[in-house]
Structure 1
Amino acid sequence: MAQLSDDCFAFGGPMMSVDEAVAIIAARVTAVRDIETVDLRNADGRVLAAGVAAPLPLPPFTNSAVDGYAVRSGDLSGDTEQTFPVAGRIQAGASARESIKPGHAVRIFTGAPMPEGADTVFMQEDVRLDEAGRVVLPKGLKAGANVRPAGEDIVAGTTALPAGQRLRPQDVALAAAFGLTQVEVRRRIRVAVFSTGNELASPGAPRGAAQLFDSNRFMLMAMLARLGCEVSDLGILRDDRASLASALKQVAGAHDLILTTGGVSTGEEDHVKAGVESVGTLVLWRMAIKPGRPVAMGIIGGTPFIGLPGNPVASFVTFVHVVRPTVLALAGALQQDLVPMPVRAAFTYKKKIARREYVRVNLRRSADGVLEAVKFPREGAGLLSSLVETDGLVELGEDITKVEPGQTVGFLSYAGLT
């Protein structure tokens, strides 16, 4: 398990920016050391423990990029149509056994190896055959056209996949193109997830008249699963300091991260702060973010602890900016910056300076073809419908104080936030 110092997340400022939070996490969280070997079929989403150097060039041999006719560029006049006899035929997967003869063409297909001496391919759509079966080549084709040189994609020996890469399907494809069947990856991060509060009932259990079914825990577990974590569902912790502290201490040694939702504010019935402090250390961050702000981070027995707000939208947003970078750091993954896509605002909005805000929006295509962001009509941080019925978030930086229709804003799709 991860073993962090008690003051790992200490911060001296009164209000922490989102960028400061991510920087502290990335710099101070230590990756798990356990490494395992997995089959390529199971490698998607895993984090590479070591870089993969190209064991061979890609492509491994010079080949044709099209179906057509291979020739020697030195035989081309460049300023007039020419007719060459066709000597030979090379299919994909076959060997080019003979060198091309001067003044001749070879019929060749996409992916087939170029015959020795040939360096240019005419596309079959651009040529014609005469009555004698000779190929008539148009003028003006540049030397080297329609040929893929060996190593054009990747040179042998170069780092093709870096250590810390969180593997995607295209990365798995690249490893397969090298002939690899397995890769070394960090083991999955183990996360314990609790909800807190007497007002919560677990789905499937009886619900009191003054209770809500717990939704945050299931949202967070789904987001963690998409990050490749092994998740332990530890249910709901009641508003009791002693039992809460006992539960947190018990799971610390078997997990790399403890995640709770609710109970991190400063009210007298918010017991998470006191419970964590009785079995570990805690730093209560006030982040300059809306929705969100109160986020608890600390250490329990060397295991990092994060307490998120209870409102679902605030929990979602702070997960993206606090839990996500923590999980990536624990997994030894390269931090993946969230890059907003520029879109046009179709709403008016005012905000405080020096605070980053996230506005729930839908995208639509306007009459002039430009993508526009349309604000969800209600703003409450407790509205699950505002997450379900929108496409993503507009990110408004700390220096922005208002948004007017027509202004360019940054859009983050929900699909890219895990």
Structure 2
Amino acid sequence: MKTPPLPLAEAQARLLALAPTLPVEQRAVGECLGHYLAQSLPARRTQPAAPLSAMDGYALRSADLPGPWRVTGESAAGHPFEGVVGMGEAVRISTGAIVPVGADMVLIQEDTGRDGATLHFTGTLPEPLERHIRPAGMDFSAAVELIPAGTRIGPAQIALAIAGGHSHLPVRRRLKLAVIDSGDELVPPGQEAGLHQLPASNGPMLCAMAAALPVEIQALGPIPDHLHALATAFVSASDADIIVTSGGASVGDHDLVRPALEAVGATLDFWRVGIKPGKPLLVARRGDQVILGLPGNPASAYVTAFLFLLPLLRTCAGAAASLPRTIPARLVAPLGKGGSRMEFLRAVWDGANVALDPLQDSGALSPLARANALVVREAWAEAKAAGTDVPVYLLENGGIA
């Protein structure tokens, strides 16, 4: 009896459970863009370390309102006033400068007038009076968690880590990914294709999908549909943490990924998932190495890479959230009943509404290039009217908000 295809959630869980654990290394903070923080990062200092002025103006005592005051000095960013603000005194202060001892408020310069060393109040009092002062620790305090483990490191996280006193961050080492394109019909990009041939576009597409993550990519192929050639390609990728193939994962006479994997000592974990496109998905292991066999049709390869390859890479890299998340969007046109498999329909989302592409063939690339979203239609789903909300995966950033 043939084993039925796995449900999507079960297949994803089984794949992610196989993810190899990569060693943690300390990497210079400027080299961590796109990595995921391997451990919680505590602040090594307080920011700001002392009360700072948020505006240009004058620091003074609120008890001395409404003035006048005698200006006794200046506090500039990087050059604090060394004295104490006493009764009836004010200190000229610039944005980012330390508020002198004794002062508890800042009058902005637009609300003041000066006659030599005498300062007058001419405007409106701030509400509250300390409004223009950034208190010590406003941003963060020493020893608090700056960034939680599993956070993807972007420009803002780099700046925060540096402000928190860090020059290096704990991240997983870069994952080694081998991408194998296979098929007798494939020719390298740019080479003229005969009527019986196709340009090998899946491999470069998969490499591009993975490139935003902390991976080192080894591209192999196109590999012909010969058992020895495929087995040789798997051997040449022995150092990879993850191998992903495109094409040859089904059960036809020329689908040789499974026998090639058996020839190099890999064991099949599961095969076939109840989704459309992408049913003939294959997952195998060779030691700690995970092999992911994707279908050869381009839309199938893209959808399964979105749902399986990218989450696997994120898990290996230490992401707190690996799986893409759906958002609700309103259908522009009616959506018919679902079939026996969960479907992922190429679509365009405008920020509120979603319109399905009229061409949904898994061999077509043009609707995939037009799409910025995938509409999810559950197996055996009832027909839905225009204006109904449906779950949608946004393709940007791999579906991770």
Do these two structures clear the TM 0.5 threshold for a shared fold by scoring above it?
A: yes
Specify the alignment match of 2:162 in structure 1. Answer: 176
TM-score by length of 1: 0.84
1:74 shift after superposition? 4.6
- Residue-by-residue CA offset, 1:337-383 (whole Å, 9 max, x unaligned): 4334444321221242785432322234xxxxx73222222111111
1:254/1:177 CA distance change after superposition, 3 Å: same
Task: Point out where structure 2 has 5 or more consecutive residues left out of the alignment.
Answer: none
SS at match of 1:21: helix
Whole-angstrom CA distance in 2 between matches of 1:273 and 1:257: 16
1:399/1:168 CA distance change after superposition, 3 Å: farther
Specify the alignment match of 2:361 in structure 1. Answer: 380
Residues 5 and 272, structure 2, Cα contact 8 Å, conserved in 1? yes
1:129 aligns with 2:110: no
- Residue-by-residue CA offset, 1:188-231 (whole Å, 9 max, x unaligned): 11111111221211224453431111100110011122212111
1:251 aligns with 2:241: no
1:286 shift after superposition? 2.7
Whole-angstrom CA distance in 2 between matches of 1:209 and 1:74: 88
Deviates more, 1:185-194 or 1:136-145: 136-145
1:337/1:193 CA distance change after superposition, 3 Å: closer
- Residue-by-residue CA offset, 1:122-171 (whole Å, 9 max, x unaligned): 4444x242766412353572143122122221221122133443321111
Identity of aligned residues (%): 34
Residues 28 and 169, structure 2, Cα contact 8 Å, conserved in 1? yes
1:317 shift after superposition? 1.2
TM-score by length of 2: 0.87
Number of equivalences: 394
Specify the alignment match of 2:226 in structure 1. Answer: 240
CA RMSD of aligned residues (A): 2.8
1:389-408 alignment runs, 5 A limit: 389-396=370-377, 401-408=382-389
Task: Determine which of 44, 62, 65 is the counterpart of 2:51.
Answer: 62
1:111/1:240 CA distance change after superposition, 3 Å: same
Specify the alignment match of 1:20 in structure 2. Answer: 10
In structure 1, what residue type is equivalent to 2:36?
V
Deviates more, 1:60-69 or 1:344-353: 344-353
Whole-angstrom CA distance in 1 between matches of 2:253 and 2:148: 48
Task: Determine which of 253, 260, 273 is the counterpart of 2:245.
Answer: 260
Whole-angstrom CA distance in 1 between matches of 2:16 and 2:135: 40
1:201/1:139 CA distance change after superposition, 3 Å: closer
1:140/1:29 CA distance change after superposition, 3 Å: closer
SS at match of 1:294: coil
1:241 shift after superposition? 2.8
1:260-409 alignment runs, 5 A limit: 260-278=245-263, 279-352=265-338, 355-364=341-350, 371-396=352-377, 401-409=382-390
In structure 2, what residue type is equivalent to 1:221?
C
SS at match of 2:333: coil
Specify the alignment match of 1:195 in structure 2. Answer: 181
1:98 shift after superposition? 2.1
Residues 128 and 136, structure 1, Cα contact 8 Å, conserved in 2? yes
1:122/1:207 CA distance change after superposition, 3 Å: same
Residues 264 and 295, structure 1, Cα contact 8 Å, conserved in 2? yes
1:264 shift after superposition? 1.4
1:257/1:120 CA distance change after superposition, 3 Å: same
SS at match of 2:180: strand
Whole-angstrom CA distance in 1 between matches of 2:388 and 2:277: 22
Residues 86 and 107, structure 1, Cα contact 8 Å, conserved in 2? no
1:217/1:139 CA distance change after superposition, 3 Å: closer
Specify the alignment match of 1:8 in structure 2. Answer: none
